[in-house]
Amino acid sequence: MSTSEDASRIYRQYLSAVMLHGHASAKACDLGATDLYALNILDLSGAMTPGELGARTGLTTGPTTRLIDRLEQAGYVRRVPDPGDRRKVIVEPADGPVLLDTVLAPVRRQIGQIIGGYTPEERQVLFDYFARAARAYQDATEDLNAAL
């Protein structure tokens, strides 16, 4: 096997491990993988309309409503009136249950230890890669969605 094949295999194993951990973490919190993904979107981007959340998760209106209902019932989000238009609602993260943080804490510690083992220069390269790879995946997703 060539070095590039080894690198590709290792990278795919990494992505699979991250994805499987996300599914297992969601299940441990009695959530679906899309629920966990939506919580991450809200945590990273802040409050948004249900329509924006649906667009970001790739869900249509009905499934988005059910997603928000599940997350609200579990105490992870709340619906609040849109200050600009009180006929609309905004979905925002709630200070709800800490189960998700508890479930994610072990892997966060492990990853923190791994990253902590790198020099500051190596960490800079890692985080540059993460930022650039995230943008590449976002662009590729937009391209795929546009082609559908």
Condensed to tens digits (0 to 9), the pLDDT of residues 71-101 reads: 999 889 999 999 888 889 999 999 766 788 8
Sign of the alpha-carbon torsion through 115, 10, 134, 69: negative
Cα atoms found within 13 Å of the Cα of residue 45, Cβ hemisphere only: 15
Instruction: Give bridge partners of residue 79 from the DSSP assignment.
Output: 91
Q: Is residue 66 part of a domain?
A: yes
The whole domain housing 91 covers: 3-96
Residue 68 counted as domain residue:
yes
CA distance 13 to 6: 10
**Residue 46's domain is classified under what CATH number?**
1.10.10.10
Q: What's the pLDDT at 96?
A: 65
pLDDT at 129: 96
pLDDT class of 23 with cuts at 50, 70, 90: very high
Residue identified by tokens 């892997």 is: 107
Residue 35 forms part of a structural domain: yes
Buried b (16+ CB within 10 A) or exposed e, 105-141: eeeeeeeeeeeeeeeeeeeeeeeeeeeeeeeeeeeee
Check whether 117 has a pLDDT greater than 60: yes
| Total tally of structural domains belonging to the chain | 1
